[in-house]
């Protein structure tokens, strides 16, 4: 992508310098019409070129005027000077003239490089992706973000402008550095999450396809990009859910005590079905766990685990529900008949 953009930037340069062939002009025209972003690039380059050309013309004109003035003064002072001396001075003046011209050209090249670099290098965009494990990272403003496995966060290398804007795909925990002059905004699909200094969880990939925000501290505003006036205002303990179809943003109280278990490894099972426990443990430990018989999913368990290994958790399940656990190529399989499926 970057290589292709460079090719067209070179072509734009040739076009404005009058060196492009008719075929290249046709190709450039098709490229500009193909994408509004391309048209914007062409327009920005045009502005830059005009600035450079104006500087060049102005510099050249001023230099020529100064040179003519200098020669007139030199001629007026040299009427009584021997010709050999005047010839020497004239040669020195010519050397100075050409030196100044070379210096002017060099300055123009530097100006050109500056404007091209400013306008045509993409803003330094950072992409943070968590692999099979959670990943913690501090953003340029001091915000600490923890990404769940498989999550991607895109953000600029520096937060310029009036907002601190990032884009999230997946699940993450944010501890946003407080800065009331520059709100922190997360793009999550078609929705926007706006905060100042807050801690909260965001998940754009829930099992049922909804997206959600669960707030722990501070205040959060959730709204669609095209309907900012219809925002949901969240306070600690609140939860917002929405779909990218533009429907209502639903605000409720968060009842899920395990919403952050993937980060804290603190798991609470309170008369929880084995099916729900397996779904939760799969997410927390990033391991495929399945039941050999769906009826086992009706078994219920009450237990609390705090940063314990998956092996320790499975041993508790085995002992409590009289289950068998074995490793297979597909992951961990739980089997047995240690509870009454009808209960």
Residues 53-89 pLDDT 10s: 565 555 555 555 655 665 565 555 555 545 444 454 5
**What pLDDT is recorded for position 80?**
54
Which three-class secondary structure state does DSSP give residue 224?
A: strand
93: pLDDT strictly greater than 50: yes
Under 8 Å CB-to-CB from 325, ≥6 apart: which residues? 314, 317, 318, 332, 333, 334
Buried (b) or exposed (e) across 102-137, using 16+ Cβ within 10 A? eebeeebeebbeebbeeeeeeeeeeebebeeebbee
DSSP 47: H
Q: Which comes out higher in pLDDT, residue 314 or 64? A: 314
Q: What span, in angstroms and rounded, lies between the C-alpha atoms of 15 and 219? A: 52
**What pLDDT is recorded for position 49?**
65
Q: Inter-axis angle of helices 36-77 and 22-34, to 10 degrees?
A: 130
**What pLDDT is recorded for position 228?**
87
Mean of the per-residue pLDDT values for the chain? 81
Same fold, 125-253 and 265-336: no
Helix boundaries (H) for 17-139 = 22-34, 36-77, 83-120
Mean pLDDT, rounded, for 299-310: 95
* Of residues 304, 215, 218, the one with CA closest to residue 252: 215
- In the β-sheet with 191-195, what is the strand arrangement from edge to edge? 125-129, 152-156, 164-169, 184-188, 191-195, 220-224, 227-234
Report angle CA 193, 199, 204 to the nearest 5 degrees: 45
**Residue 37 C-beta-side C-alpha neighbours within 13 Å:** 4
Report angle CA 169, 172, 177 to the nearest 5 degrees: 115
pLDDT tens by residue, 144-196: 999 999 999 999 999 988 999 999 999 999 999 999 899 999 999 889 999 98
**Residue 177 C-beta-side C-alpha neighbours within 13 Å:** 15
* Of residues 224, 220, 141, 136, the one with CA closest to residue 179: 141
51: pLDDT strictly greater than 90: no
12: pLDDT strictly greater than 90: no
Lowest model confidence (mean pLDDT) among 192-201, 242-251, 265-274, 307-316: 242-251
**What pLDDT is recorded for position 39?**
75
**What pLDDT is recorded for position 161?**
87
1: pLDDT strictly greater than 60: no
Distance of CA 77 to the CA centre of its chain: 66
DSSP 293: S
* Of residues 231, 250, 156, the one with CA closest to residue 192: 231
Q: How many CB atoms lie within 10 A of CB 256?
A: 13
**What pLDDT is recorded for position 25?**
77
Fold annotation for 265-336: Phage tail protein beta-alpha-beta fold (3.55.50)
Band of pLDDT at residue 343, cut at 50, 70 and 90: very low
Domain definitions of the chain by residue range: 2-120, 125-253, 265-336
Q: Which comes out higher in pLDDT, residue 43 or 311? A: 311
Q: Which CATH number fits domain 125-253: 2.60.120.1440, 3.90.1200.10, 3.40.640.10, 3.30.360.10?
A: 2.60.120.1440
**What pLDDT is recorded for position 134?**
94
State phi, psi for 311 to the nearest 5 degrees: -60, -40
């Amino acid at each position: 992508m970057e290589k292709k953009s460079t090719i067209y930037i070179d072509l734009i340069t040739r076009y404005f310098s009058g060196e492009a062939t008719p075929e290249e002009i046709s190709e450039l025209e098709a490229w500009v019409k193909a994408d509004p972003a391309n048209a914007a690039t062409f327009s920005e380059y045009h502005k830059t070129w005009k600035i450079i050309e104006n500087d060049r013309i102005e510099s050249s004109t001023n230099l020529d005027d100064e040179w003519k003035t200098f020669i007139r003064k030199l001629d007026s002072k040299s009427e009584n000077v021997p010709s050999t001396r005047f010839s020497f001075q004239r040669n020195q003046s010519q050397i100075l003239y050409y030196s100044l011209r070379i210096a002017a050209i060099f300055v123009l090249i530097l100006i050109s490089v500056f404007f091209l670099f400013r306008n045509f290098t993409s803003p330094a965009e950072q992409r943070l992706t968590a692999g099979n494990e959670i990943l913690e990272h501090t953003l340029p403003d001091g915000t600490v973000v923890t990404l769940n496995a498989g999550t991607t966060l895109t953000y600029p290398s520096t937060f310029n402008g009036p907002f601190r804007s990032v884009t999230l795909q997946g699940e993450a925990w944010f501890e946003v550095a407080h800065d009331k002059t520059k709100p922190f905004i997360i793009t999550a699909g078609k929705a926007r999450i706006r905060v100042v200094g807050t801690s909260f969880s965001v998940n754009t990939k829930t099992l049922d396809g909804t997206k959600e925000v669960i707030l722990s501290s501070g205040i959060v505003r959730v709204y669609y990009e095209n309907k900012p006036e219809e925002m949901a205002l969240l306070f600690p303990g609140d939860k917002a859910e929405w779909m990218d179809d533009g429907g209502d943003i639903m605000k409720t109280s968060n009842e899920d005590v395990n919403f952050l278990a993937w980060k804290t490894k603190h798991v609470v099972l309170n008369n929880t079905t084995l099916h729900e426990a397996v779904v939760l443990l799969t997410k927390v430990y990033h391991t495929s766990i399945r039941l050999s018989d769906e009826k086992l999913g009706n078994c219920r368990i009450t237990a609390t685990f705090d940063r314990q290994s998956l092996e320790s958790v499975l041993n508790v399940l085995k002992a409590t529900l009289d289950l068998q656990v074995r490793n297979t190529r597909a992951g961990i399989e739980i089997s047995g008949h240690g509870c009454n499926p009808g209960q």
